[in-house]
Structure formats: structure tokens, C-alpha cells
Amino acid sequence: MESNESKKNKQKFKPIKYTIIVIILLITYCGVFYLGNTLAVKGLVLNSIPSNALNDLKNIEDSDKYSNLFGLRSLLFAKYDGEIDDNKLLEGAMKGMAESLGDPYTVYMDNEEFKTFLESSEGSFYGIGAQLGVRNNQITIIAPLEGSPAEKAGLKAGDVVIKVDDYEVVDLNTDAVVSRVRGDEGVPVTLTIVRGDSEPFEVEIVREEIQTESVKGEILEDDIGYIQITTFSDKEVSQKFTNKLNELKDKGMKKLILDLRGNPGGYLDQCVEIASNFIEKGNVVTYTVDKYDEKIVSDSIGGDAIGMPLVILVDGGSASASEVVTGALRDYNAGTIIGTNTFGKGIVQQLIPLSNDMGGLKVTTSKYYTPNGENIHGTGIAPDIVVEIPQEIATMEYDRSIDPQFQKALEVIREKTN
């Protein structure tokens, strides 16, 4: 027989049940596509869900089983000897639902985590200045930002993070790890790192305000120019690139080294526009395909550097949007790729803010492909010319004169003719 207390708990649960329904409806009817960890597909907002998805939802005939979730909550309130935060129960259930998919890029974030996540696309935040990703089922440093506390502390692309202060990294939720790495300015955070076959070691890093300069460039010699793009998460990175390209052309640049090393990705529309500078108008730069085989094509808008001799520098920190650019330039033989294999992230996420300060959902929605139809997820893009950076050089203060990848790029671009 059902106790009075249990009945009361069921009554208490009704508002939570309705909240879940509202959240599901919000997830269904709104959202913004993300590529990598930032906005993508030109901020496209979904006003309705695909008809195929509606059919799938209608075909779920055993939804009554979710009553067990509500029953579990009632049991916890009835039996647990301790304080219960009802919102924490709800957040925990939502996190568990997302994590059960086994996809490290599909994550429910609570309100604080969601705010921290959004900061990464706003140009400045307090942290250590290192991009995190998943590689070989481990939370890994994709790349430390140039001049960041992470770089100064000696963190390297490929370092595996196993602990943040006292928090042990036991799952593949990069956003949860990032939220712990971020913090107040001037406050240190200790990361426990595994590098290659080494024993774990600790690195203490003092958090600073991280400001990203997305585009830098200069004339190297004679008619050779150099442009580095550190991120595509700047909403104006394409315009900044065009401005820098024109500036260097006005100074006599006729050949270009494009450096995408350590660039973790960003806005899809920005990387498509940048790639368009080297690809004929109307040609495919990339396309995405979702679970219902719906295909969205991003075409080149054309540009003023088509046919310009080009070398592209990449490494294991070149991910997502960087790989969109690299893959397109490779497929159209627009330049020579030099460095090491890229990161290998060929999937697209959608970011969905939830109402009532309930945070947001980041969910994998599709795969993206190079113009020739290759999905590089898990494999990355192999360079035309492989150049490794020896460990003894990697641990030294950066100097172009001893950077073998840069020196090889300079050698190759010198030999290219207009």
C-alpha cells in the first residue's frame, strides 16, 4: 500500500515533471549549431524540428518507463537520511541522460558550466589559456595558446589531464574539466599531467585573463607573407584575415604561409569565408550530413587570393574548423600542407540554451565532410610533407630559426612560382 508520504512526494514532483516536459519542448524547438566548441553554420536557428524526428518521437511507445525516474525521486525523498537539493537531483538526471550516450561531445551543462562555456567565444576569460579535447578516450590538451600561462608553465599539445586540483578526471566531459580549470584571476590551479610514457607530474598554473588575438601577420622576406590564425571563434576573424591579407598584398606579398598550428576551431561560417579566399566561387568548401541524411552545403564565396602560392602549417592541435580549411585547400590542391597529422574532429555540435537558468545542452547532430567526401573524424588530415618537432626543441623558448616546420614551409614557399 502506498504511504501518505509517498503520495505527497508524487504531488511535489508534478512541477518537476512539467519542467522536464518544457525543457524537452525547448530542446525540440530552438537551437544554434556549433562546430567544435563554438557557434557555427552562421547562427542558424531552428524554428521547428525535422519531420523525421517528429516521427521518431511518435514511435516511442514505451515512454511510461520514465515513471521509474519520478518514482526514484520519490524514494530518495522518502528514504534518504540527509538533505536533498531538488534542483541537483534534476541536474544529475539530465547530466546522466546526456552522458549515457557515450559521446564526449554531447553534454548537459548546468547554469554555471554553461556560462563558462560561452565565455570561451567572447574573446576573454580567466583561466590558463589551453584548449581541451578528447583523444584516445582521454582528456587532452589540444594546444596551449601562445603566450598563455599554460604555455609558460610548459604544457604541450597531447598532454593528458588526469586531475584538476583534487578532482580526478574519470569521464570524458571536457566542459566539466574546463569549468574547474577556469576560475578567479590570480588564483592558482594544479593540473596532474601524463606526457607520453612519463609518470604523472603536477603543474601549478596561476590563472590570468586570457585574451585571444585571432590573426597575426607580416612580410617575411621579399614577396613572402606569413599569417597565423590562432582561433576561428572570433566572430570577426574572417574580416581580420581579409584585412591582413590585403595589407600584406599592398606591401608586395605574392606568396603566403598560412599557420593553423594549435588552432582548435570555431565558427563554421568564418572558416568557410577564409577558405573561400583560395577557392573558386561556388565550389564546395564543406558539407554536413545528419542522421536523417539531410545535407547542408557550404560553398565558396570566392576571394582575391585564388592561385596564390600557398603553404599551410598544421599539427595535432589543428582541429575542427581548422581541419575544414585544411581539408578544402587540400582537395582543391590550393597549397602544400606541412607539419604533423591534425587532431581529427569531423563532427558538428548544436548548442541549446535552456530556460529558467537550467544551463544548456551541447549535442552532436551531424558529421562534416571535405569537398571530396571524406569525414576526418578520428583520423585527421595527413600533411603533404611530414615535419616533426623534436622534443628538445619543443621544450625550448620558441624561435622561428629553430622551428623545423616553419623553416620547411619557408623552403617550400620560396620554390613556388606565381
Interval 284-324: pLDDT, tens: 999 999 999 999 999 999 999 999 999 999 999 899 999 99
Q: Which pLDDT band holds residue 17 (cuts at 50, 70, 90)?
A: very low
**More confident call, 208 vs 115:** 208
Which pairing describes strands 224-229 and 215-221: parallel, antiparallel, or unpaired?
A: antiparallel
Under 8 Å CB-to-CB from 65, ≥6 apart: which residues? none
Query: Which regions of the chain carry the CATH code 2.30.42.10?
Result: 127-211
Q: Which pLDDT band holds residue 123 (cuts at 50, 70, 90)?
A: low
Q: What pLDDT does 264 receive?
A: 86
Lowest mean pLDDT across 119-123, 200-204, 269-273: 119-123
- pTM as predicted: 0.73
The three grid cell numbers given for residue 239, joined into one nine-digit string: 574580416
Q: What pLDDT does 270 receive?
A: 93
CATH T-level assignment (fold) for domain 127-211: Pdz3 Domain (2.30.42)
Residue 154 has phi, psi (to 5 degrees) of 95, 10
Question: Above pLDDT 90, what percent of the chain?
Answer: 58
Residue with cell 531538488: 86
Active site residues: 320, 331, 345
Counted residue by residue, the chain has a size of 418
pLDDT, mean of residues 197-201:
91
Give the burial string for 342-376 (b: 16+ CB within 10 Å, else e): bbbbbbbbbbbbbeeebbbbbbbbbbbbbbeeebb
Q: What pLDDT does 209 receive?
A: 86
Q: Does 31 have pLDDT greater than 90?
A: no
Residue with cell 522518502: 78
Q: Does 33 have pLDDT greater than 60?
A: no
User: Residue 242: enclosing H or E segment and its boundaries?
Assistant: helix 237-250
Q: Does 212 have pLDDT greater than 80?
A: no
Q: Measured between alpha carbons, how far is residue 112 from residues 183, 207, 358, 379 in Å? A: 11, 18, 9, 33
Q: What pLDDT does 24 receive?
A: 37
CATH T-level assignment (fold) for domain 215-415: 2-enoyl-CoA Hydratase; Chain A, domain 1 (3.90.226)
pLDDT, mean of residues 160-188:
88
Q: Does 67 have pLDDT greater than 80?
A: yes
Describe the crossing of helices 4-29 and 67-79 by its angle, rounded to 10 degrees. 140
Q: What pLDDT does 46 receive?
A: 37
pLDDT, mean of residues 27-52:
41
Amino acid at site 139: I
Q: With CA atoms as reference, report the closest residue to 30 among 361, 314, 356, 282.
A: 361
| Mean pLDDT, the chain, integer | 85
Residue 291 has phi, psi (to 5 degrees) of -65, -20
3-class DSSP assignment, residue 45: strand
Q: With CA atoms as reference, report the closest residue to 50 among 268, 269, 291.
A: 291
- In terms of phi and psi (left: phi > 0; alpha: psi -120 to 50; beta: otherwise), the region of 377 is beta
**More confident call, 156 vs 340:** 340
Query: Which regions of the chain carry the CATH code 3.90.226.10?
Result: 215-415
Q: Does 371 have pLDDT greater than 50?
A: yes
